[in-house]
Amino acid sequence: AAAQGDGGLPKLAVKSKYRVCFNQSEMNSTWRKAQTKSMQDEAKRLGWTLIFTNANGSVEQQIADVRSCIAQRVDAIFLPPREEKPLTPVVLEAKRAGIPLFVIDRTVDEEAVKAGRDYVTFIGSDFYAEGRRAAEWLVKTTGGKAKVIELLGSPGSTPAIDRANGFHDYIKKYPGIQVIAAQTAQFTREEGFNVMKRLIRSYPTATAVYAHNDEMALGAITAAREAGFTPGTDITFVSIDGQRSALEAIILGKLGATVECSPNFGPKAFQTLKDYAAGKKIPARIINDDRFFDLSNALKSLSSAF
Ligand code: AHR
């Protein structure tokens, strides 16, 4: 844990209102929209000025957006880095400019920069644990026997890397669980549909799909149905995020389960900034306490899903 001033961390004064940047990576999914809304709603509630940028899926644009916030001398920056390595240098640029930066949702290259020294902290979900939890459920549900199609998130992103590793590490002990195909579907519903449409033709013996997020799973469910399969019966689907439409798919029996990855960062992120300004020690990692949804709790969780 570290407080302002420790290890050269930028100082932040106590104020009633702050002017902060939120440099969103893209806005092409329910999850991203919910994350943005959470940040905007909380800024509004506190009466803070939130400068919002949308990099539209481009790491170059996200880098430029952070630089523009540094140039505007904002009080602090909240950064959900689209990819780990490319966004690392601007973290150091913010530090050099004396602007506290909070990495949220996805990590930066932790070999190159350190929380509590170069940026304040990381706030987000444990993507590796998410992959393990999805695998654990699949093993239990299938009795340890499945031919799996894995739909990967966008290449180079930490959720894609960690969710694959968590899942694969867990299934090592279960030789009956075989990943027969793995391909990126870019975390989008459209690509989930397109990729699944092709893969199910080449791998008609697949009995399960592990999608790194709900959007891809929902696209893949449609593709499987159009290809003549019955999702939930012929093919078991498991994914990550826990968005409302995924819980609805669970209730309808199409999706088996989803591991929550909460996009509700606003209250936690801004409270952490306030604590930091107040001189409190901030842990290097603040990990979200995520839920797990299957048929046993999907209906009662609908109202609290995004
Ligand atoms: O970084 C969060 C992950 O990225 C979410 O699971 C996913 O939906 C988003 O694209």
- β partners of residue 22: 52, 78
Q: Say if ligand 1 is within 6 A of residue 25 CB.
A: no
- The Cα–Cα gap between 79 and 96 comes to 16
* Alpha-helical regions (H) of the chain: 30-46, 59-71, 88-96, 127-142, 158-171, 189-202, 214-226, 244-251, 266-277, 298-301
CATH 3.40.50.2300 fits 127-261, yes or no: yes
pLDDT in tens, 109-130: 999 999 999 999 999 999 999 9
pLDDT, mean over the chain:
97
Closest ligand 1 atom, residue 187 Cα: 10
Q: Say if ligand 1 is within 6 A of residue 31 CB.
A: yes
Mutate which of 26, 27, 32, 123 for ligand 1? The one with the most ligand atoms within 8 Å of its CB, which is 32
pLDDT in tens, 19-61: 999 999 999 899 999 999 999 999 999 999 999 999 999 999 9
* Cα angle: 183, vertex 185, 190; to 5 degrees: 145
Q: Say if ligand 1 is within 6 A of residue 254 CB.
A: no
Tell me if ipTM is over 0.95: yes
CATH topology of domain 6-123+264-287: Rossmann fold (3.40.50)
Domain 6-123+264-287 and domain 127-261, same fold? Reply is yes
Q: Where are the domains of the chain?
A: 6-123+264-287, 127-261
Q: For the whole prediction, is pTM greater than 0.90?
A: yes
- Read off the DSSP letter of residue 302: G
- DSSP E strands: which ranges in 90-160? 101-104, 122-124, 146-152
Q: Say if ligand 1 is within 6 A of residue 162 CB.
A: no
- The Cα–Cα gap between 60 and 67 comes to 11
The predicted structure's pLDDT at residue 266: 98
Please report which helix (H) or strand (E) contains residue 6, including its range: none
Closest ligand 1 atom, residue 212 Cα: 6
pLDDT in tens, 252-290: 999 999 999 999 999 999 999 999 999 999 999 999 999
Q: Say if ligand 1 is within 6 A of residue 241 CB.
A: yes
